[in-house]
Amino acid sequence: MYNKTLALSLAAAVSVAAFATPVFAKDLGDGPWSKKRFQVRVRAIDVIPDVDSSVNIGGEVDADYAITPEVDVSYFFTQNIAAELIAATSKHDIDYTGNVDLGEAWVLPPTVMLQYHFTPDNKFSPYVGAGLNYSVFYGEDAGSGFTDLDVDNGVGYGLQAGADYWVNDHWGVNLDVKKLWLNVDASLNNGAIKADVDMDPWIVGAGVSYRF
């Protein structure tokens, strides 16, 4: 579902951008540290794990979705090419075979994306991105009847598609979809229960953009 939605959204964005009329010339200012090279976004995101797991005692583990704030900062190397640093944290309940509460864990997944902005001079400005993610799990709390829930940190990669619509020279609205591929090891009851987990979340967000 989300693969199809992402593809259709990106195709629509590029099609509209192809016929859009430039409304301003993007100014990167003077020098590499000009404030005009920076852009900030604040979004509300829905983190939707797409879990596939292997458990040493059989069965499967799953994680629920979480809605949380996200902040990112972009730096434009050129008018079209930018790097985006994304920061957010979310808490997820972890279940076994659908109805056994194994506990909960927080994840802090800083992500860096290299982006291409198709029409940076237009009101409607779509982009795509690809990058790396390092997910730090913390605050693990085992469910009733279990002890010592531990989720290892992991490195993954991701893809992104989104668009800004600029209301004026500084403020805009943003829609963004990311897909991360992340594999982690988890254990419970002092390692008696072990799982190899592909989290692979979809991250769907909307918010506001600000450029200097």
> What CATH number should be reported for the domain holding residue 190?
2.40.160.20
* pLDDT tens digit sequence for 119-157: 998 999 999 999 999 999 999 999 999 999 999 999 999
- Asked if residue 181 has pLDDT above 50, the reply is yes
* pLDDT tens digit sequence for 80-96: 999 999 999 999 999 99
What pLDDT is stored for residue 28 in this prediction?
Answer: 86
End-to-end Cα separation, the chain, in angstroms: 36
- The pTM for the full model equals 0.84
- Asked if residue 183 has pLDDT above 80, the reply is yes
Q: Report the percent of the chain where pLDDT is more than 90.
A: 81
Residue numbers of the domain that contains 148: 2-211
Please, what's the b/e burial string for 83-101 (b: 16 or more CB within 10 A of its CB; e: otherwise)?
A: ebebebbbebebbbeeeee
* pLDDT tens digit sequence for 94-121: 999 878 999 999 999 999 999 999 999 8
Distances (CA, A) of 158 to 127, 128, 200: 14, 11, 9
| Number of separate domains in the chain | 1
* pLDDT tens digit sequence for 19-78: 444 555 567 888 888 999 999 999 999 999 999 999 999 999 999 999 999 999 999 999
Spatial separation of the C-alpha atoms in residues 96 and 58, rounded to whole Å: 10
